[in-house]
Amino acid sequence: MDLPRSFTIRESSHRILNPFTDEKLATLGRALHLAPGTRMLDLACGKGEMLCTWAAAHRVTGTGVDISSDFIGAASARAAALGVADQVTFLHDDAASHAATDPVDVASCIGATWIGGGVAGTVELLRRSLRPGGTMLVGEPYWRREPPDQAAVEGSMATSKDEFRSLPALIEQFGELGVDVVEMVLADQDSWDRYVAAQWLNIRRWLDRNPDDELAEQMRAELTTAPVRYARYQRDYLGWGVFVLMDR
């Protein structure tokens, strides 16, 4: 049970595994008005940056769950480095089947709604762990502009145009699921650049160190094509944001 190695190569230098900067992640934490002792569950937590930095800044407590053993190791090390290892715990487990033993105040899935088979299924996963009146955080892509053809769709890392919705349609979908959207923080093109472009340097440095690795050909092909594809399609067409939700 683990992620393919290509994920850890791409994001080897990243602490935040989505198109948020440190500043945007901090903005989201402030927007939630988190009280000390707020209990959180973060499904598909990656390297745990949200839990760790919010534990330090807002004194929250919580658990992060991720299928990547490398990411969970990095999350535990980050918690120790920030002095919050007594406030947060990280588990190597399948987030799709994990529920909190005791209901939490905030349940999140930031940029990994595939664990629930999409937005609707992920909202249901989060509800399983949430106390009445609690808050859900869902990170999800949306179309900034409607892609004109299949090349733009695939260049934006989607398989079909229907895989994502426009921002208004995504917010409408949340309403159809019986939740209010009470806050949102959106990535911008600069924060997308910082997330995606940093992957290219990670890949290049890995290739220089591992020219004979079995993944070298695959990663070389990705580095050759990814920058142009991102600049031509993904940067203009694909948005991303974290949406703060409460059951009606």
Domain membership flag for residue 213: no
Residue 35 DSSP symbol: P
State the residue range of the domain holding 36. 5-143+160-188+238-247
Domain membership flag for residue 105: yes
Domain membership flag for residue 231: no
Domain membership flag for residue 219: no
Domain membership flag for residue 227: no
Beta bridge partners of 179: 247
What does the pLDDT read at residue 23? Answer: 97
C-alpha 200/C-alpha 235 separation (Å) is 15
Helix residue ranges per DSSP H, the chain? 5-10, 22-31, 49-58, 69-81, 119-127, 150-155, 167-176, 189-209, 216-229, 235-237
Domain membership flag for residue 225: no
Domain membership flag for residue 30: yes
Are 111 and 187 a contacting pair, CB within 8 Å? no
Helix (H, G, I), strand (E, B) or coil at 47: coil
Q: Model-level pTM?
A: 0.96
In sequence order, which residues have a C-beta less than 8 Å from that of residue 186 and are 6 or more positions away?
Answer: 239, 240, 241
C-alpha 70/C-alpha 157 separation (Å) is 24
Q: What are the tens digits of pLDDT across the range 81-110? A: 999 999 999 999 999 999 999 999 999 999
C-alpha 127/C-alpha 121 separation (Å) is 10
Is a pLDDT exceeding 70 seen at residue 1? no
The rounded percent of the chain whose pLDDT value lies above 90 is 99
CATH number at residue 118: 3.40.50.150
The position carrying tokens 């053993």 is 69
Domain membership flag for residue 47: yes
* Domain count within the chain: 1
Q: What are the tens digits of pLDDT across the range 25-51? A: 999 999 999 999 999 999 999 999 999
